[in-house]
Every structure is written in structure tokens, then in C-alpha cells.
Amino acid sequence: MAANVKVMRRPELTFWEKTYLPQILSGLKITSAHFFRNLFLHAAHSVGLLKHIPAAVTFQYPEILRPLAMRFRGRHRLTVRDEGTPRCVGCMLCETVCPAKCITIVAGEHPDPNVEKYPVRFDIDLGVCVYCGYCVEVCPEDAIRMDTGIVDIAAYSRGAMQLDIHELMNPKLRKPLTEQNCTLKFPHECRLTPGHVKGDWNQVYGDTQSAPK
């Protein structure tokens, strides 16, 4: 046997330890201490006392949300300019970088020559999305973010997992959506009214004369 091998012998239990009783009792001591502490706190909470000391480490989920980390990646949103149009310039970088290929953008011409393009259609299929955050990283315009803090992304069908530009620009919208949910003024492929391109730049900028040239 090599000189530096150290043989660890299994420690012999004393008679008292072999009866299991000390360990059982110390275990019961720990659990009972928690039990009576929490019972006392629950009782105090029920009459409105000691509310600042929590009796349970759990959160009552749908009513109380756990605090999320600053960098948590939740449901996406499209950031919005002052006049209510998306900051997105339709550069297709996010659609290109997306490893799950869940983003679909159809770009249109923006009346402002400095902007050039904007998304007529911007869809994200959350059923395919892997929440990697690359779209946020790659965006040169800070147009897409994942900071909504929405974590309960679940649906009964694959179709209901597909977000379009309405839900991306207004994270408060939840399915099912109706035509009344469409508040977008710029021309977009409105999937709430199938097949129609709705909206007009006049509604955004008053009339075409005052629109930025």
C-alpha cells in the first residue's frame, strides 16, 4: 500500500447511538421547533400581529409573485416611440440571430427617411422560443426587451402561444383578443381582422404634410 494512503475506518457507534434514540430525538427537536414557531406565527398573523416575520418561505403564487431578478428574461415586448409606433426599424437582426427561428418580421417603408423601415408584422411564437435573449442583445435600436416580468406563459393550443404585434407592443393584452384590442394607428398587418392591413400614417402624424420628411 502506498505510503500516502490514509485508511478511514467507519466510526464505531456507541451503544446509545445504536439505539437510534438520540438522533431521533434531535430530529424531532428540530422539526418540532419549526412546527411550534410557525404555528405561533400563523396564529399571530391571523389576529394581525407580527406580520413582518413570515411563517412560511413559500409564496401564494397567483396572488403574490416572487420577486424576479433584474436580468430575468420573461415575455418579450416591443418598445414604443413617443408617438406610439414601434422603435423597431425592421433590420431583421433578431430574426436572423434567433436560434429557434421563432421571430417573423415583415418590414414596411417608414415615412421618415431617417428611419427607413418599420415592422408591418412582428410575430414571436413563444411555443418555439427558447428565451435565450439573443434578440434583445442583438437589437441596435433597443426595440425589443424581455423585461415584462410575465412568467405565466401557458396556453391550451399552439396557436395561442403565438404573439403578434399587438401583444408585443402592449404586454397587458391577453388572449383571446378581439378587434377592439387593436389600438395601433400605423399601417400593420392586423391579425385581429384577418388579411387586412389596418392603420394609416395620417393617424399617427395628423396628415402627410406635417409628417417628418
Partner 1 sequence: MEDLVIKLVLAGIMFFGVLNLAGLHTWIERKQSAVMQDRIGANRADILGFTVLGLFHPIADAVKMFTKEDIVPEGADRVLHTLAPFFSVFFALVAFAGIPFGDHVVWGDRVIDLQVAKLDAALLYIFAMLSLGVYGVILAGFASRNNYALLGGLRATAQMISYEIALGIAIIGVILVYGTLDLQELVRGQGTYLAGGWIPLWGIVVQPVAFFVFLTAALAETKRVPFDLPEGESEIIGYFVEYSGMKFGMFFLADFLETILVACLTTTLFFGGWQVPYLMPDGFHFPWGATIPLSQWTYVLLGVASFSVKVLAFCWLFMQIRWTLPRFRYDQLMRLGWLGLFPISVVNVFVTALVLTFF
Task: List contacts with partner 1 (CB under 8 A).
Answer: 19, 21, 24, 27-28, 30-32, 34-35, 38-39, 42, 55-58, 60
- For the bound state, the minimum distance from the C-beta of residue 48 to partner 1, rounded and expressed in Å, comes to 16
Q: Residue 103: which residues within 8 A CB-CB, separation 6 or more?
A: 94, 95, 122, 123, 124, 135
Cell numbers at 153, concatenated: 406563459
- For the bound state, the minimum distance from the C-beta of residue 155 to partner 1, rounded and expressed in Å, comes to 22
- For the bound state, the minimum distance from the C-beta of residue 59 to partner 1, rounded and expressed in Å, comes to 9
Contact between 75 and 146 (Cβ < 8 Å):
yes
Q: Residue 210: which residues within 8 A CB-CB, separation 6 or more?
A: none
- For the bound state, the minimum distance from the C-beta of residue 81 to partner 1, rounded and expressed in Å, comes to 44
Closest CA to 123 of 95, 142, 145: 95
- For the bound state, the minimum distance from the C-beta of residue 56 to partner 1, rounded and expressed in Å, comes to 5
Nearer to partner 1, 14 or 60 (CB): 60
Nearer to partner 1, 42 or 81 (CB): 42
Whole-number Å distance between alpha carbons of 155 and 161? 6
Whole-number Å distance between alpha carbons of 119 and 94? 12
Can you tell me whether residue 18 is helix, strand or coil?
A: helix
Contact between 111 and 170 (Cβ < 8 Å):
no
Whole-number Å distance between alpha carbons of 53 and 185? 50
Can you tell me whether residue 7 is helix, strand or coil?
A: coil
Nearer to partner 1, 56 or 197 (CB): 56
Nearer to partner 1, 39 or 197 (CB): 39
- For the bound state, the minimum distance from the C-beta of residue 156 to partner 1, rounded and expressed in Å, comes to 21
Nearer to partner 1, 56 or 65 (CB): 56
